[in-house]
Amino acid sequence: MIHRPPAPNSANEQKNQRIASAALFAALVLLALWVVREFLPAVAWACVIAIVLWPAYQAIERHRWFKCRTTWIATLLTVAIALLVVLPITVTAIQAGGEAHELYLWVRSAQENGVPVPDFVAQLPVGSHTLSAWWQTNLAPPLKASPAMKGLHSDALVTFGRHFGARALHASVTFGFMLVTLFVILQAGPRLSGTVMRGARRAFGADGAQLLQRMASAVRATVTGLVVVGLGEGVLLGIGYMLTGVPHAALLGTVTAIAAMLPFCAPVVFCGAALWLVVQGSVIGAVALAVVGFVVVFVAEHFVRPVLIGNSTRLPFLLVLFGILGGAATFGLIGIFIGPALMTVLMVLWVNWAE
């Protein structure tokens, strides 16, 4: 019996062609991602911000002045995001520049005369003699010849400056590309949203499209929770700065609000303010500020923020907390928003499988 080769359009050959096409497409996608790998953080941030701004985009589009004017809407929202980031940094830099002269004079005085022992050291109930002796040995003499001051003039400081400048330049470039990407995404508007949803339905069915919507809701809820809680912490601790006599209380409250939008970063700010109060001799004010700060941060991070995010995404408290912290540890800052979205996917898959 003679075995004839299969017809050109046989089912077997079509299956092999589909497998080869899928492999080729996957290889091309991976190659394209590798080529643009340096820009992926900017794209990821732009996508997160676009998801958050989408309700505002739709509200603006319904206004008669902006009907079918996607370029105007994209420009308005992109400029708003740019100002929201640039203005606080500019104000902080101006304030820091104003204080730079006083800091320079203090450093010069410490180099020539040393740092005298603060009055509060003698009033400490425990360890005052030990701390006073250490201070007299290490900080009270002129610091010009100390190893710490010599290190300020060494190559280590130059290296640190170059590294900091390179990181700042990289962050600025990433921010610029993020703004450009955000503008393009917003300009595409409903057309891009419809394309994404049609692609999800075609690839994964109705459940896939619904899952994509849940992930977008999780990202939006996470950002909302971070911003609301951060602003709340900034207001409360700003009042604390004002009552305890910390200078520039309003500016420091703004810095605290920005830091509080990142999990467990606010203590860096109010602990620094408490340390300044200690140096000024206000031990009671420093202790009160530190205690109030840790209570506010504990309640906000462990209860308020997970509840805000969980209620919007229908996630349990523990999954929200694990999503935020685990996402930040795995993916960095952008992981704060990716983590809860992945937890939402996990929860939806579990519910569908259990049913």
Domain locations in the chain? Answer: 39-126+144-354
For residue 4, what are the CA distances in angstroms to 8, 9, 11? 12, 14, 15
The CA distance from 316 to 343, in Å, is: 10
CA distance 150 to 247: 31
Predicted pLDDT at 355: 60
The reported pLDDT for the residue numbered 295 is 92
C-alpha gyration radius of the chain: 28
pLDDT band at 99 (very low <50, low <70, confident <90, very high): low
For position 312, what pLDDT does the model report?
A: 60
Reported as a pLDDT band with limits 50, 70 and 90, residue 239 is: very high
Segment 150-172 shows an average pLDDT of 70
When mean pLDDT is compared over 72-76, 105-109, 167-171, 339-343, the highest value belongs to 72-76
Q: Which residue has the higher pLDDT, 120 or 305?
A: 305
The band of 292, judged by pLDDT with boundaries at 50, 70 and 90, is: very high
How large is the greatest C-alpha to C-alpha distance in the chain, in angstroms? 107
Contacts of the segment 303-309: beta carbons below 8 A, 24+ positions apart: 304/229, 304/232, 305/225, 305/226, 305/229, 306/225, 308/221, 308/224, 308/225, 308/228, 308/229, 309/218, 309/221, 309/222, 309/224, 309/225, 309/340
Which of 116-125, 146-155, 337-346 ranks highest by mean pLDDT?
Answer: 337-346
Task: Give per-residue pLDDT as tens, 165-218.
Answer: 788 888 888 889 999 999 998 888 777 777 777 877 777 777 777 777 777 777
Q: 319: which 2 tokens?
A: 């999954």
- Predicted pLDDT of residue 153: 55
The pLDDT score that the predictor gives to residue 125 is 66
| Residue 146: pLDDT band with limits 50, 70, 90 | low
Q: What is the pLDDT of residue 71?
A: 85
Q: With a cut of 60, say whether residue 61 has pLDDT above it.
A: yes
- Each residue of 5-54: pLDDT tens digit? 555 556 777 778 888 888 888 888 888 888 888 888 888 888 888 888 88
Is the per-residue pLDDT at 126 higher than 70? Answer: no
pLDDT at 255 over 80: yes
pTM: 0.70
Instruction: Determine the pLDDT at residue 103.
Output: 67
Residue 101 has pLDDT above 80, yes or no: no
